[in-house]
Amino acid sequence: MKKSPILSICIPTFNRSDFIGRTIMQFIRYIEEKPFLQSSVEIIAADNCSEDKTWSVLQKLDKQYNCVRVARNRQNIGLPKNILKLIRMAKGDYLWFFGDDDRLIKNELSEILDILEARKPNFILHNFFTFKDGRKENVRVVNQNFLNTKHSQYFPTKRYLTSRTYKIITNGVLLLTSNIVKKEVAASFTSELIDNNYWHFYHIVKQMIKNGKLYVFASPTVGQRTTTSHFHKNIRLKFKTFFCDLTEILLLFKKEFPSFEFKCLKKAIKLYIKYSFFTLAIMLRNNDFSKGQIRYIENTLKQLYFDLGLIFWILLNMPKSLLYLILKCFESIRYIKLGKVGQNT
C-alpha cells in the first residue's frame, strides 16, 4: 500500500507559462537530492483555464514526474475557488500554498518535515524576501527579511500572541506562499468572502486565532517576485484588492474578534491600506468613481481609520494639477517604500 505524503505543495496558477515550469522544477530538484522526500512530498497544480501555454507545461511535468499531479478548470473560477479545489485534491497531512511565480531559495523541506513531525502545528508561517527580476536569471532583492524576525517561534495558543506577533502574522499570511496549513484546518475553509482576493488571509487568520499552534519559521526560505503580479496590470483590480478587499475583511474582524486582536490586526493592515491610496488618487484624477462609490469609501474609512479619511477628503478636494505633481513624485519612490513594509512594521 502506497504511503500518503506528509506535505502537499499546492500551486494555483493562471497564465504563468513563463514561470510555472521553473516553480515546480525547483521543488523537484530538491526532492531528488534527498530520496526519502519522494514519498513524503507531492506537488499539485490547478490551472485556472489559462490562455497561454501553462496547461501544456503542466501536462509535460505530470507525465515526467510521479510526484506531480495537475488539473485544469474548464473556465476561470477565481483564485479562492481554485485554492479550495487544491485543498480537495491534496493527499498530504499539510498543505503548502505556493505562488506560481515565487521562488524556493533553500532546500528546507527536510527541516519543515521535522517540524511537522515534532511540533504537529496547525500552521507554519514562512519568512520571505521580495525581489525584482533582472536580466536573465539575476534578481534584485528589495527586502531580505520581510517579517522582520530573527528567531523561529512556536505559539501554542492565542494567549502567546503579542501586538508584534500580529504584525508578523499579517505580513506573512497576506502572501499566499508563506503559509503551510494542516489539512484538517484547511478543510474548514468555506466560500465566505469567495470573491475577495484575500479570501485566504481571512480564513487562515481566523483559524490561527481560534486554534493556535502556530510555528513562525524565521529563515527566509521563499522569495516573492514583485513585478509580475496580475494586480499590477489592472488599476481597478489593484484598488479592489488593496482597499476594498482588505477593508471588507477588517469590518468582519471587527465583529468577530475581541478588541485586542482586532486592534492589532487593524494597525498591521493599515500600512497596506495606505499604499492603496496611490491607486486611489489616480482613479480620483481620472473621475473613475461614482458618488455612491465615494460615499462607500468615506463611510468605510470613518469606521476604521479617521486619519486616512482625512487624507481621502484632501485628495478629493485637491486641484488636479497639484495631485498630478504629487503622484509623479510618489511614483518614483513607491517601490522603495513598499520594499520596506516588513522593516517598518
pLDDT digits (tens, 9 = 90+) for 117-143: 999 999 999 988 877 764 444 545 545
The CA distance from 146 to 148, in Å, is: 5
- The answer to whether 341 and 224 are in contact (CB under 8 A) is no
- Within 10 angstroms of residue 176's Cβ, the number of other Cβ atoms is 22
> Between residues 143 and 220, which one has the greater pLDDT?
220
Determine the Cα angle at 265 with ends 259 and 266, to 5°: 85
- 106 and 153 in contact (C-beta within 8 Å)? no
The residue ranking higher by pLDDT, 73 or 146, is: 73
User: Which residues, including other chains, have CB under 8 Å from residue 319's CB and lie 6 or more apart?
Assistant: none
Tell me which amino acid residue 281 is: A
CB atoms within 10 A of CB 280: 24
Kindly report the length of the chain: 345
Q: Is residue 135 within 8 Å of 141, Cβ to Cβ?
A: no
Q: What is the pLDDT of residue 344?
A: 39
Structural domains of the chain, ranges and CATH numbers in brackets: 7-228 (3.90.550.10), 232-344 (no CATH)
DSSP 177: G
Which amino acid belongs to residue 101?
A: D
User: pLDDT tens digit string along 84-111?
Assistant: 999 999 999 999 999 998 988 777 888 9
Contacts of 241 (CB under 8 A, 6+ apart): 197, 198, 231
CB 330 within 8 A of CB 278: yes
Task: Evaluate whether 72 touches 49 at the Cβ level (below 8 Å).
Answer: yes
Q: Please classify residue 336 by burial: count the beta carbons closer than 10 Å to its beta carbon, then call 0-12 exposed, 13-18 middle and 19+ buried.
A: exposed
What is the mean pLDDT of the segment spanning 70-91? 96
Q: Give CA–CA dist 265/302, Å, rounded.
A: 17
Q: Between residues 4 and 336, which one has the greater pLDDT? A: 4
Cβ pair 278, 328 in contact under 8 A: no
For the cut 90, the answer to whether the pLDDT of residue 3 exceeds it is: no
Secondary structure (3-state) at 203: helix
> Global pTM?
0.88
